[in-house]
Amino acid sequence: MEPFDVVIVGAGLSGVAAACHLQKSCPGKSHVILEARGSIGGTWDLFRYPGVRSDSDMFTLGYSFRPWQGPKAIARGESIRDYIQETAREHGVDRRIRFGFRVRRASWSNRDAAWTVEAEQAGSGKPVTFACRFLFLCTGYYRYESGHAPAFPGAERFQGRIVHPQAWPGELDYTGGRVVVIGSGATAVTLVPAMAERAAHVTMLQRSPSYVLAVPDGDPIGNALRKVLPARWVLGPTRWGYILLALAIYQVSRRCPGRARKILRDQARDRLGPDYDIDTHFTPAYDPWDQRLCFAPDGDLFRVIREGRASVVTGHIDTFTEQGLRLRSGEELRADIIVTATGLDMLAFGGIEIRVDGEVRDPGEAMSYKGMMLCDVPNLAFAMGYINQSWTLKCELTCEHVCRLLRYMDRRGYRACMPRNDDPSQTRAPLFHLSSGYVTRRADRFPKQGSRVPWRAHQNYLLDIASQRWARVDHRVMTFSR
């Protein structure tokens, strides 16, 4: 059993951030990263479908300690993967990663004040055990092995190819073909314009529409600041500009939903023309930010629809046929390739079984402390990003707080820390306030948030700066022991 001060699980955007912060703020702590796959990058190494890109700006999705300096705010997936891998190499994090180790179980012992982390080695299935004082889960929020794939009636009859974006085959050639993309979320909104560049025609088939916001493909905030500031001063203000812009869009959407609906509808109307059926295809029944907004850089989705290279059909599938799909309305869609952009299969903590003194702790039954620790589970933190801003903003605050917590425990001679709820009047709510299908399907398996701080998740970067960067780590609900 190999002993470490900290074991980090996952070598994606969050895991690399955690290791970099530990090296800087807790240089005396030994740590290792256990990664189930064979490369660095997490989501951005896994997803290889056409056009894959960030769904938030890179100036906030990038790390604060290594600012993004690319020309575009919305970056391609391969550029993000390269950025994460370069960061890991520059900070020596790549030398601390053990690839091919899938963590299956983590068991805490109060007697030893330590975690035993059990993993399987890829290929052989050989069990390998690690020990650590603190466990940091940077596993993301979905199942990497497979996406959500509903059983469509008649799918076995289809004579073409059915593909899920999460398992995109590298050899797939859709040049000159007819493509139907099932879905209306961020993945579908990305795929349609990308595939329309080579396919004969792409149809986006949706049960119900999503809000699509056209955003600049470049860096308008940075470009504006460069006109009045020296180049070396631009990165910080640019980052804060995008932080405040995202907060403003979210706050307007939640506080003035009618106004936000009109803005989004009018934008779609301006880009698609007065004769397009906006109400059917681009006006959801829900309010903006009940589900995530979909971004279209430079309005690329609207452009390919306007040019006739893509179209949107809103309806329900009756059955797959030999040549495509038949809808309940009777309309038939012919296709050579059908892409099922039907969403992720959310998974808490990579499916790792968590035990405390032999007792299994169900993450779905636990309350989350500041969106980063579990009630009544010692020496464990998890990285979970925002739903309304970039993932990395919240993850870096969590990394900072974990480092402060570890230093505090060292100074006081504590071996263990644990948040404990002593307020029976706290009510519980899902951790993510979204009505998206991929969220509601698995919300019961994720930790809950409480009705009041520190158990309530703000989804607000400014409030979390005060809560996680500046507030005392020895909050009254935190218990410490030697």
DSSP string of 217-245?
Answer: SS-HHHHHHHTTS-GGGSHHHHHHHHHHH
Same-domain check for residues 191 and 315? yes
pLDDT band at 262 (very low <50, low <70, confident <90, very high): very high
Give the chain's largest Cα–Cα span. 71
Residue 55 has a pLDDT of 85
Same-domain check for residues 162 and 310? yes
pLDDT at 231 over 80: no
Torsion angle (degrees, nearest 10) of CA 353, 116, 10, 95: -160
Same-domain check for residues 260 and 325? yes
* CATH code at position 424: 3.50.50.60
Q: Burial level of 124, CB count in 10 A (0-12/13-18/19+)?
A: exposed
pLDDT band at 439 (very low <50, low <70, confident <90, very high): confident
Residue 23 has a pLDDT of 96
Same-domain check for residues 327 and 352? no
Residue 433 has a pLDDT of 84
Q: What's the number of domains the chain is made of?
A: 2
CA Rg value for the chain: 23
DSSP code of residue 249: H
Q: E strand or H helix at 371, and its extent?
A: none
pLDDT at 338 over 80: yes
Answer whether residue 457 is part of any domain. Answer: yes
Domain containing 300: what range?
155-340
- Mean predicted lDDT score pLDDT of the chain: 94
SS3 call for 4:
strand
Between CA 221 and CA 177 the distance in angstroms is 39
Same-domain check for residues 416 and 353? yes
CB 385 within 8 A of CB 391: yes
Residue 71 has a pLDDT of 86
Same-domain check for residues 195 and 294? yes
Question: Which tokens belong to 364?
Answer: 């779905």
Same-domain check for residues 357 and 332? no
Answer whether residue 357 is part of any domain. Answer: yes
Q: pLDDT tens-digit profile of 176-196?
A: 999 999 999 999 999 999 999
0.85 surpassed by pTM: yes
pLDDT band at 210 (very low <50, low <70, confident <90, very high): very high
pLDDT band at 346 (very low <50, low <70, confident <90, very high): very high
Residue 229 has a pLDDT of 85
Answer whether residue 54 is part of any domain. Answer: yes
Q: pLDDT tens-digit profile of 121-131?
A: 988 889 999 99
Percent of the chain with pLDDT over 90: 86
Residue 124 has a pLDDT of 86
Same-domain check for residues 248 and 371? no
pLDDT at 389 over 80: yes
Percent of the chain with pLDDT over 70: 100
Stretch 433-449: mean pLDDT, rounded?
Answer: 87
Residue 422 has a pLDDT of 87
pLDDT at 440 over 90: no
Same-domain check for residues 323 and 403? no
* Residue at a domain's end among 340, 362, 381: 340
Answer whether residue 384 is part of any domain. Answer: yes
Answer whether residue 58 is part of any domain. Answer: yes
pLDDT band at 458 (very low <50, low <70, confident <90, very high): confident
Residue 226 has a pLDDT of 86
Answer whether residue 284 is part of any domain. Answer: yes
pLDDT at 435 over 90: no
pLDDT band at 19 (very low <50, low <70, confident <90, very high): very high
Q: pLDDT tens-digit profile of 219-230?
A: 889 889 888 888
Answer whether residue 150 is part of any domain. Answer: no
Residue 1 has a pLDDT of 77
* Residue at a domain's end among 314, 340, 366: 340
pLDDT band at 424 (very low <50, low <70, confident <90, very high): confident
Same-domain check for residues 210 and 335? yes
Same-domain check for residues 75 and 122? yes
pLDDT at 170 over 90: no
Q: pLDDT tens-digit profile of 111-160?
A: 999 999 999 998 888 999 999 999 999 999 999 999 998 999 999 999 99
Same-domain check for residues 136 and 246? no
* Residue at a domain's end among 295, 315, 340: 340
Tally the C-alpha atoms within 13 A of residue 16's C-alpha that lie toward its C-beta: 31
What's the gap between Cα 252 and its chain centre?
23
pLDDT band at 8 (very low <50, low <70, confident <90, very high): very high
Answer whether residue 212 is part of any domain. Answer: yes
Closest CA to 293 of 315, 340, 342, 260: 260
